[in-house]
Amino acid sequence: MHKFTCAKCDSRIFFDNQACLACGSPVGFAASDLSMVTLRSEAEIGRAHV
């Protein structure tokens, strides 16, 4: 079984998780990469482009 970690806090996340249990960041499955990813909010995306 592949182990996934939260990109924000590096805690372990599982396929069934909708959020990281340690930091609360939303997570989801990226079918293109066959991996779990930490999702960013629209506010975080907007700040990245400023």
Total count of domains within the chain: 1
Residue 29, Cβ neighbours under 10 Å: how many? 14
pLDDT at 3 over 60: yes
CA 48, CA 50: separation in Å to the nearest integer?
6
Q: Write the CA distances from 40 to 1, 2, 12, 21, 36, integer angstroms.
A: 26, 23, 18, 16, 13
pLDDT tens digit sequence for 20-50: 999 999 999 999 988 899 987 666 666 655 5
- pLDDT for the residue numbered 17: 92
Residue-range definition of the domain harbouring residue 9: 4-48
